């Protein structure tokens, strides 16, 4: 019994450590990749070597700022909102496997779990928009809601395609069932997942909710200091979760040469590919207008995801005969 508790605590600490380190790595990668894509160098001073400690310095700066709650705000909702956003991705990260046994919590229906807790983060953003007592925040929050309702559907449909192809709702099971044929067979589903995940994270080009020229900073307008930093951390944790998820679903997770020894490295590497892709998309593409955003979801991604679902279903029926 005591051994179980120790193991649970150890696993939780490991997940928490990954949760705190990986988003910083993604953030630093974004700083550097975006800078070089724009002909700049990015942070070069903090920490000495190529500004490696820039995000640590940012965090220290945020923690020193005054914690301001607007007078008109719904104070408790305003305070809880950032925690909700960040906890959802922490829960999601806990069940994403790095290897067949390297997983924070081995849940049977881990894919369902990830999709379910991923929705909680949305509620956090909605609460931030509503609780700020600011019209820009409210508009941003409503845009967030509209966007996430639209893109949750293709995201779930794409995930369903992977689950049907593998015949399992467990991420470990899906990665075990993976074959190189999936690269072709599940390609539309992966594209849908990537676009929907980027939209889900409200990253450019899908950052209508925080469109700074119209809505100041959307739901985050009134936030400052650590609470704002938590929202930022949640965004980058979201990239980590979505990238690792797509790496496990579409690229087979730990599958690769020497995967008995360095399987976890393969998963991280495959996740990193998608993280860089999400950063790259942000740099290269212009922001969508609000109506274009909805068009892409309902007229582009949903039919494509349904098509993928049909292809997968036919494929499974034909091959299992």
Partner 1 sequence: MTKFLSGLAKGMATTARTMTTHAHTQQYPHVKPELPSRSRGVIALLEENCTSCMLCARECPDWCIYIDSHKETTPPTTEGGRARQHNVLDRFAIDFSLCMYCGICIEVCPFDALFWSPEFEYSTTDIRDLLQEKETLGQWMPTVPAPEPLVPELPQTEAQQLVVDVEPEDDPAAGRTTKRGAGEVPRPGTEEQP
Residue nearer to partner 1 on the CB measure, 167 or 300:
300
Among 36, 61, 65, 76, binds partner 1 (CB under 8 A): 36
Candidate ranges 13-21, 34-42, 173-181, 241-249; the one touching partner 1 (CB under 8 A): 34-42
How many residues of this chain interact with partner 1, rule: CB under 8 A? 14
Among 16, 35, 46, 107, binds partner 1 (CB under 8 A): 35
Residue nearer to partner 1 on the CB measure, 63 or 292:
292
Among 8, 41, 183, 187, binds partner 1 (CB under 8 A): 41
Among 12, 16, 25, 44, binds partner 1 (CB under 8 A): 44
SS3 readout for 253-311:
CCCCCCHHHHHHHHHHHHHHHHHHHHHHHHHHCCCCCHHHHHHHHHHHHHHHHHHHHHH
Residue nearer to partner 1 on the CB measure, 35 or 269:
35
Compose the 284-303 pattern: x for residues touching partner 1 by CB under 8 A, - for all others: xx------------------
SS3 readout for 105-153:
CCCCCHHHHHHHHHHHHHHHHHHHHHHCCCHHHHHHHHHHHHHHHHHHH
Candidate ranges 40-48, 146-154, 213-221, 251-259; the one touching partner 1 (CB under 8 A): 40-48
Compose the 57-96 pattern: x for residues touching partner 1 by CB under 8 A, - for all others: ----------------------------------------
Candidate ranges 20-28, 30-38, 209-217, 221-229; the one touching partner 1 (CB under 8 A): 30-38
CA atoms of 213 and 210, how far apart (whole Å): 9
The DSSP secondary-structure symbol of 41 reads -
CA atoms of 165 and 187, how far apart (whole Å): 12
Q: Please give the torsion angle defined by the CA atoms of residues 121, 186, 204 and 152, in that order, rounded to the nearest 10 degrees.
A: -30
- Give the nearest distance from C-beta 44 to partner 1 in angstroms: 7
* Residue 37 binds to partner 1 (criterion: CB under 8 A): yes
CB count within 10 Å of CB 200 equals 23
The DSSP secondary-structure symbol of 51 reads T
Tokens read off for 127: 């609460």
Residue nearer to partner 1 on the CB measure, 111 or 297:
297
Q: Which residues of 149-159 are buried (b: 16+ CB within 10 A; e: fewer)?
A: ebbbbbbbbbb
Compose the 267-286 pattern: x for residues touching partner 1 by CB under 8 A, - for all others: -------------xx-xxx-
* Residue 38 binds to partner 1 (criterion: CB under 8 A): yes
Q: Give the distance from CA 50 to its chain's centroid.
A: 26
Residue nearer to partner 1 on the CB measure, 38 or 320:
38
- Furthest-apart CA atoms within the chain: distance in Å: 65
Contacts of 11 (CB under 8 A, 6+ apart): 94, 104, 105
- List residues near partner 1 by CB under 8 A: 33, 35-41, 44, 280-281, 283-285
């Amino acid at each position: 019994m005591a051994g179980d508790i120790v193991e649970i605590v150890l696993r939780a600490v490991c997940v928490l450590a990954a949760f705190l380190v990986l988003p910083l790595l993604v953030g630093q990668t974004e700083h550097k990749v975006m800078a070089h894509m724009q002909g700049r160098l990015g942070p070069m001073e903090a920490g000495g070597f190529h500004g490696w400690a820039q995000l640590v310095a940012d965090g220290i700066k945020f923690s020193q700022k005054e914690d301001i709650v607007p007078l008109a705000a719904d104070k408790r909702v305003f305070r809880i909102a950032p925690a909700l956003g960040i906890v959802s991705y922490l829960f999601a990260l806990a069940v994403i496997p790095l290897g067949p046994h390297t997983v924070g919590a081995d849940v049977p229906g881990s894919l369902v779990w990830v999709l379910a807790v991923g929705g909680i983060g949305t509620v956090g953003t909605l609460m931030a928009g509503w609780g700020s007592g600011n019209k820009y925040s409210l508009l941003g929050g409503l845009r967030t809601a509209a966007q996430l309702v639209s893109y949750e559907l293709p995201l779930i449909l794409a995930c369903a395609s992977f689950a049907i192809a593998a015949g399992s709702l467990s991420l470990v099971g899906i990665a075990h069932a993976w074959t190189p044929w999936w690269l072709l067979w599940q390609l539309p589903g992966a594209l849908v997942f990537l676009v929907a995940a980027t939209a889900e994270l409200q990253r450019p080009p899908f950052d209508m909710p925080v469109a700074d020229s119209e809505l100041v900073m959307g739901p985050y307008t009134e936030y400052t200091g650590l609470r704002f930093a938590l929202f930022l951390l949640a965004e980058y944790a979201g990239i980590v979760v979505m990238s690792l998820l797509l790496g496990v679903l579409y690229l087979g997770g730990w599958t690769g040469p020497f995967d008995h020894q360095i399987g976890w490295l393969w998963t991280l590497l495959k996740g990193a590919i998608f993280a860089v892709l999400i950063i790259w998309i942000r740099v290269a593409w212009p922001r969508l207008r609000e109506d274009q955003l909805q068009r892409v979801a309902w007229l582009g991604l949903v039919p494509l995801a349904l098509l993928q679902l049909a292809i997968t279903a036919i494929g499974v029926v034909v091959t299992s005969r």
